[in-house]
Chain A
Amino acid sequence: MTHEELEEAVPLYAAGALERPERQALETHLLSGCVSCHTALKEYQAVAAVLPFGLQSTPPPRTLKAKIMAARTAPVMEDAATEQQASRPSLEPGEWMNHLFPPESSTSIWSLRWGLGIAALGLLVAGASLAWNSYTAMTDSTAKLQALQTASQEQAAKLASIQQQIREREQTIDRLKAETDQQRTEAMALKEQLIQRDAELEDLRLQLVTRSSPPQAAHAPEAELAALLHQSTAVRTISLNGSEKAKGAAGFLLYDARTHKLWLYSINLPTCPKGMHYQIWAMQEKPVSMGSFHNHGGETAHRFITHHPNLSTVKRFTISLEPSGERSAPTGPIYLTSQS
């Protein structure tokens, strides 16, 4: 039933006009806590409660009160039997109000035979009640024990979960610690390399100072620098001499064996004509281009050569003037060349 249907059934419920299934459905709805239906029911129940005021007033027999007051203290044999009866009338109006009072079944028409039977049934039920109480007490204890076990299991599960979280965090800390150690080691290595480079530079600087005084006027600057670099065992110097096209030009290649890096320094090369550039060659079985550069004027030029073959296989190095665009072999005039 929808809420609207249930709400419409409230006045019929208060008047006692619902069938049992409808009544039970509404009572279930009321017990679910529907405030609007509960409020409506209280109002209709109040209407039903005052309807008897519309009757002709008739006082009860005078002796009835005395009988009730006397019967009040009499032992009640039928209570247990009455409450245990499962069979109820098909219609019990006002169950919402009457829910605490299971209906009796025609107590007024009990015969003596039925009375005795019910009394016996009462004794039987009393015995059963005693047994039931014992059983329920045991059941309660069992239920409490089960509840405690369940609570204990839940706590154990929570503890295991917390322990797992702690293990995961410990693993994370270990991993971070290892990463930190590795970074520290790398930093130390870099620092050592830096110290070594500083020492080499300092050594070179001292040699330069030593060579610079007294001045040696007979040597060209490039020759002095090449001679200076020759002092370093880690750097190989390859001198380049000017050809007939550039008699005043010179140059050298610096090769660092530790880093495998190659630099070109040139001096007094003529300015490149428009559309032309200098191309560097490693002469092996076949010429290998190591790149090109422009010289736009100035006495010196230098270039870092990123691609070069194994220097042990190179017979000599040359620099030629070529039209723009890569060539696979020298086609223009040679300006600088090394000794074989």
Chain B
Amino acid sequence: MDTPSQQAASTIDPALLARVVKGDVQAFSQLYDQSSTLLYSLALRMLGNKEDAAELLQDVYLEVWRKVSRYDIGRGTPLAWLVTLTRSRAVDRLRARSSRGPQSMGAPLDGDSHVPDRGPNPFEAQADQEVHTLVMGALAALPPAQQEALELAYYEGLSHVEIAAKLNQPLGTVKTRIKLGMTKLRESLRHCWDQGEHL
């Protein structure tokens, strides 16, 4: 039987989702084991505190359980679907949070409350470690301005208009930075999904 340490988020099989569609609890459990670390890391990065991240993750997985039949493989891999869903719900929370003002921020990352239960560690599966290395390298190869624009869009949930205002840069410059950054990442990572089965 597989253990979480052997199951890579980067190799989630669409057949696993097909089993979840049929109400297979074991498949749902395996899906959680394969993807939860990646999704939680994303939620934590976007929301900034572990309580909100955990709550978000719970909402995401329950939504997956209830509505997995709506997953359309023609529009992306299972991983892309889970990441997009998690990120989208996190952006919802960031928007709701910003509309209520800064006083509603949850526990910050700094301090004892941010310490994860098992502590930060590399991705356990070999395949995920390789992807981690590739993505880190690809991101490091980007100019800092492109990195910054991408991070504000992807992790902060800001539109190019909001990023331009925040950085006090022309809108066209920001759009170009994001576009160039994404294009360079695509070229750097192309062989990653050329070789991988499910990424």
Give residues in A with beta carbon < 8 Å to B: 8, 11-12, 14-19, 42-62, 64-65, 67-69, 71-72, 76, 79, 89-98, 100-101, 103-109
Task: Return the CB mask of B176-193 against A: 1 if under 8 Å, else 0.
Answer: 001101110110011011
Contact pick for A11, options B9, B28, B178, CB 8 Å: B178
CB < 8 Å neighbour of B63 from A11, A93, A101: A101
In the assembled complex, 28 residue pairs joining A and B whose CB atoms fall closer than 8 Å, in A order, are: A12-B178, A15-B153, A16-B154, A17-B159, A47-B189, A49-B76, A50-B79, A50-B135, A50-B199, A56-B41, A57-B37, A57-B120, A58-B120, A59-B116, A60-B53, A64-B54, A64-B58, A68-B32, A72-B65, A89-B96, A93-B87, A96-B75, A97-B80, A97-B85, A105-B96, A108-B93, A109-B96, A109-B104
Is A44 a contact partner of B76 (Cβ separation < 8 A)?
Answer: no
> In whole angstroms, how far apart are the Cα atoms of A231 and B70 in the complex?
113
- Assuming A72-B28, A92-B88, A97-B75, is B135 touching A17 (CB within 8 A)? no
Inter-chain contact B37/A58, CB cutoff 8 Å: yes
**Residue of B at shortest CB range from A92?**
B88
Residues from chain A with Cβ under 8 Å of B59 in the complex: 104, 107-108
Contact in complex: A61, B136 (CB < 8 Å): no
Q: Which residues of B contact A97 (CB under 8 A)?
A: 75-76, 80-81, 84-85
A100-B67 in contact given A50-B199, A53-B10, A71-B62 (Cβ < 8 Å): yes
Q: Does B107 contact A (CB under 8 A)?
A: no
Q: Are B132 and A11 in contact (CB under 8 A)?
A: no
CB-based contact A89/B179 at 8 Å: no
For the A-B complex, the count of residue pairs with Cβ-Cβ distances under 8 Å equals 232
Chain B positions within 8 Å of A50 at CB level: 10, 79, 131, 134-135, 189, 192-193, 199
The answer to whether B117 touches A12 (Cβ under 8 A) is no
Tell me if A49 and B67 are in contact (CB < 8 A): no
Interface string of B127-139 (1 = CB under 8 A from A): 0100110111011
Interface: B29 (CB within 8 A): yes
Measured CB to CB, the closest approach of chain A to B22, in angstroms, equals 15
The reply to whether B93 and A65 contact each other, CB–CB distance below 8 Å, is no
Which one, B39, B50, B132, B154, contacts A61 given CB within 8 A?
B50
Which of A42, A59, A95 neighbours the largest number of chain B CB atoms within 10 Å of its CB? A59
Select from chain A the residue with minimum beta-carbon distance to B182. Answer: A11
Whether B92 contacts A106 by the Cβ 8 Å rule is yes
Bound state CA distance, A72 and B193, in angstroms? 32
Residues of A within 8 A of B7 (CB): none
Residues of A within 8 A of B57 (CB): 60, 64, 68
Main secondary structure of the interface of B (DSSP, over half): helix
CB of B21 closer than 8 Å to a CB of A: no
- For residue B66, which residues in chain A have a CB less than 8 angstroms away from its CB? 76, 79
Q: Find out whether the CB atom of B77 lies under 8 angstroms from the CB atom of A49.
A: yes
B91 engages A108 (CB within 8 Å): no
Question: Which residues of B (1-46) have their CB < 8 Å from a CB of A?
Answer: 9-10, 25, 28-29, 32-33, 36-42, 44-45
CB closest residue in chain A, given B114: A58
Inter-subunit contact B186/A16 (CB<8 Å): no
A51 with B199: CB separation less than 8 A: no
B149: chain A residues within 8 A (beta carbon): 17
Q: Interface 1/0s, chain B 47-78, versus A by CB < 8 A?
A: 00010111111110111011100111001110
Extra inter-chain contacts (16) besides given A11-B178, A64-B58, CB under 8 Å = A14-B182, A17-B160, A49-B83, A51-B150, A53-B9, A53-B123, A54-B132, A55-B41, A59-B118, A65-B36, A71-B58, A72-B65, A89-B91, A92-B92, A101-B70, A108-B93
For B41, the chain A residues whose CB sits under 8 A away are 52, 55-58
Is there contact, CB below 8 Å, between A12 and B80? Answer: no
- A57 nearest CB neighbor, chain B only: B123
Q: How far is A50 from B175 in the complex, measured between Cα atoms in Å? A: 21
A48 close to B84 (CB less than 8 A): yes
**Smallest Cβ-Cβ distance to B59: which chain A residue:** A107
Residue of A nearest to B135 (CB): A54
Do the beta carbons of A53 and B159 come within 8 Å of each other? no
Q: Contacts A15-B154, A18-B159, A89-B92 known; A55 to B52 CB distance under 8 Å?
A: no
B54 in contact with A48 (CB, 8 Å): no
List B contacts of A65 (CB < 8 A). Answer: 29, 32-33, 36
